């Protein structure tokens, strides 16, 4: 609660930037895993079902040359776009403002949100959580998407209306989803989302590599030391606290 912390003179440090590429890697891993039904394939073998082979078993969808819609062309969204170029994907994006650099570098095309949802084979969400973006994707939005579309969320769980997502996939409005974030977290093993094989859910591990978590820990420690010594943090969410008499 940034306003409450600021009012009480509590400095808040964070670790932006250092996890950008690692989280983008994970977002693309979810695109691939969900499109090619990787988790279903693992479960298929573990269940002892791989006794014969059939040409129509576990058919997925191609990622290469598909259309990727990016909601939020920030640091992570841009890195996902960069990776999509390697798969010859058509890149669409929606953002609060046009990103002409992304358009030049990645060939990205700006669209309004509804148009992006209607045209994309994959929709990857990279918007921050705020009162305005809570349930940013809900029943109305899923109805606009292709029946073959796959949703990827590595942003924050409440950005997606999970009850609406469940119904959209169960009823065939969209084909599936790959989620690194959920609402709530941790997600109960009995949650209805987990009953659908078309949904790949992992436990908020977007930044979970040894190198990235090490860098995050170092920045957090340096933020703490700087604050305790009345010095400038490497990254501070509410630097206005330093300009008041709260400390």
The residues that are catalytic are 156, 185, 204
- 195-219: b or e for each residue (b if 16 or more CB lie within 10 Å)? eeebbbbbebebbebeebbebbeeb
Q: Give residue 171's Cα distance to chain centre.
A: 23
Task: Determine the Cα–Cα distance for residues 37 and 60; give it in Å rounded to an integer.
Answer: 6
Whether residue 15 contacts residue 246, with contact meaning beta carbons closer than 8 Å, is answered with: no
Angle between helix 20-35 and 75-85 (nearest 10): 50
Q: What phi and psi, each to the nearest 5 degrees, are found at residue 194?
A: -75, -5
Sheet holding 90-94, edge to edge: 109-110, 90-94, 67-71, 122-125, 150-153, 176-179, 199-201
């Amino acid at each position: 609660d940034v306003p409450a912390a600021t009012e009480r003179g509590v400095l808040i440090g964070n670790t932006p930037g250092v996890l950008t590429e690692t989280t983008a890697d994970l977002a693309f891993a979810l695109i691939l895993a969900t499109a090619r039904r990787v988790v279903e394939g693992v479960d298929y073998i573990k269940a002892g079902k791989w006794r014969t082979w059939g040409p129509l078993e576990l058919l997925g969808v191609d990622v290469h040359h598909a259309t990727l819609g990016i909601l939020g062309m920030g640091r992570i969204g841009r890195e996902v776009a960069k990776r999509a170029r390697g798969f010859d994907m058509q890149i669409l994006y929606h953002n609060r403002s046009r990103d002409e650099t992304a358009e030049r570098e990645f060939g990205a095309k700006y669209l309004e949100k509804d148009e992006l949802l209607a045209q994309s084979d994959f929709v990857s969400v990279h918007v921050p959580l705020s009162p305005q973006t809570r349930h940013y994707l809900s029943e109305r939005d899923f109805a606009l998407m292709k029946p073959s579309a796959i949703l990827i969320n590595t942003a924050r769980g409440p950005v997606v209306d999970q009850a609406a997502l469940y119904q959209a996939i169960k009823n065939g409005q969209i084909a599936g989803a790959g989620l690194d974030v959920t609402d709530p977290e941790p997600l109960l093993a009995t949650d209805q989302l987990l009953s659908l094989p078309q949904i790949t859910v992992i436990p908020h591990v977007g930044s979970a590599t040894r190198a990235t978590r090490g860098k995050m820990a170092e920045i957090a420690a340096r933020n703490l030391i700087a604050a305790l010594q009345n010095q400038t943090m490497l990254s501070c969410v509410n630097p206005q606290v330093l300009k008041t008499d709260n400390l």
